[in-house]
Amino acid sequence: MSKLYGLLIGLLGILVSINIGYAQESETAKKSFSLEEAQAYALKNNLNLKVNAYNIDAAKGQVTEIQAIGLPQVNGSVNVLHNLQLPVTLVPGIAFGQPDQEFVELTFGTENNINAKIEATQLLFDGSYFLGLKAARLFVERAKLQQVQTELDMRATIAEAYFGALVAQENVEIFEKNIEVIEKTLFETTEIYKNGFAEKLDVDRLQLSLSNLKSQLDNALRMQELAENLLKFQMGLDLEEAIELSDKLDSFIAGVEDVFLNDPKILQDKAMSNRIELALLDMQNTFRVLDIKQVRMQYFPSVVAFFQAQSSFQSNDFKIFDQSWINSSAIGLSINIPIFDGLQKKGQVQQRLISQQQAFKQEALVKESIRLEVLQNQTGYINALDQIKYQKKNLALAEEIYQTTLTKYKEGLGSSFEVTAAEGELYKTQGQYLQALYQLILTKNSMSKSLGTGNYKYK
């Protein structure tokens, strides 16, 4: 019997060790991410970023394509002709001593004809080409700027998703903490009730509160899972992967961003110098200038040098190596001189000039909208700062009221109604504080984005 008991104990120990090892393995299987790490992961793995990155390679290919126009163009051709029946030409018979009204049938040519030709051209001058080449190189720079803009937007998106997941996690922790307090109070009240010093109604109220909290906790857990899945989707991480957020909400409001409280004019000027959208608009204006010049350059001649060489073989048989070939070659210039196009190019220039003026007005509108955006975000940030200070005081006060009311109830100096009311105010204040905390972090995120700093590292 003692041996059997020892064997059972041994097996139990093995099972416990296996479970502990499995739990540790499951715990270590979670991938931990700070905000910076989540952003870095997204920049490498987000599918949208990968797709947009191809635009740079496509722009480089466009440069190569346009460069090729100014390089030598060489083409070769070989034509092989076999006459199944040689063509016949009618010649007046008088040339051969025949009557005037008679014609003589003559056959010209050979049954087999081969013509091999090679031609090379070189563009010497074309104003449109050089402008097009300059524009193509700008395509690459624009694609790079657009990629940077996409990355900044992705950083902001990841930050918002990360903050949302942190808020959901914090919400779960609050519910768990409140449930722990209610369970303790319920246990104590139940014991008091058993001893006849509390009413059944007090126990029932606490049980109802506990039931409601557990229901809210279940909902909060589902919202946490949803928020984490959104974050994983934005990062380009498999939704089945378990993640852990290493940053805490409080770390993102550890210090006040003094720069966000500067004079609005200073902040607006900073945004004007940093926002990539304005750099892209400026580059777009350069494209329009080049486009207008390109149309005007079409008034000038274009010059192309060419070289041609060909060799011909004619025979009634295909003994191409036994008979001589007839060679010829030529070199020259091809000059295309525009004379009159019915004012087509003039109309094209007029259209482009109008589009350019429209673009200038749109650029001014974008600048004004950025200035307004900075003002709105600064106001939102100041309001969020005031709100978090206000809600922090309220939360401390609500916790103090609840603890005092609970102590009075346990000592028989208060009623369960007071406890329930204090409890409700505490939960309400906790939710308001958490919302204020989330709003402050979001406004900091929006403020950085509107300034174009790309600075989402709040710690």
Q: Which CATH number fits domain 30-69+126-300+342-451: 1.10.1740.10, 3.40.50.300, 1.20.1600.10, 2.40.128.130?
A: 1.20.1600.10
Residue 3 binned pLDDT confidence (cut-offs 50, 70, 90): very low
Residue 262 binned pLDDT confidence (cut-offs 50, 70, 90): confident
For residue 457, is pLDDT > 50? no
Contact call for residues 327 and 310 (beta carbons, < 8 A): yes
In this predicted model, what pLDDT tens digit does every residue of 401-436 receive, in sequence order? 888 888 887 777 777 778 778 888 888 898 898 888
Identity of the highest mean pLDDT range in 1-10, 102-111, 199-208: 199-208
How far apart are alpha carbons 194 and 203 in whole angstroms?
A: 10
| Arithmetic mean of pLDDT, 105-132 | 87
pLDDT at 75: 95
In this predicted model, what pLDDT tens digit does every residue of 336-360 receive, in sequence order? 999 988 888 889 899 989 999 999 9
pLDDT at 227: 93
pLDDT at 5: 40
Read off φ and ψ for residue 82, nearest 5 degrees: -120, 115
Handedness of CA 25, 30, 32, 38 (dihedral sign): positive
Three-state SS for 116-156 is EEEEEEEEEECHHHHHHHHHHHHHHHHHHHHHHHHHHHHHH
Residue 120 binned pLDDT confidence (cut-offs 50, 70, 90): very high
| Arithmetic mean of pLDDT, 278-300 | 90
Using the structure block, give the residue that is written with the tokens 């308001």: 432
Lowest mean pLDDT across 11-15, 43-47, 141-145, 397-401: 11-15
- Which two tokens mark 277? 């959208």
Residue 188 binned pLDDT confidence (cut-offs 50, 70, 90): confident
For residue 147, is pLDDT > 80? yes
Domain ranges of the chain: 30-69+126-300+342-451, 73-125+301-337
Task: Give the Cβ contact number of residue 42 at 10 Å.
Answer: 25
Task: Give the Cβ contact number of residue 310 at 10 Å.
Answer: 18
How far apart are alpha carbons 83 and 218 in whole angstroms?
A: 90
Strand partners, 104: 91
pTM over 0.75: no
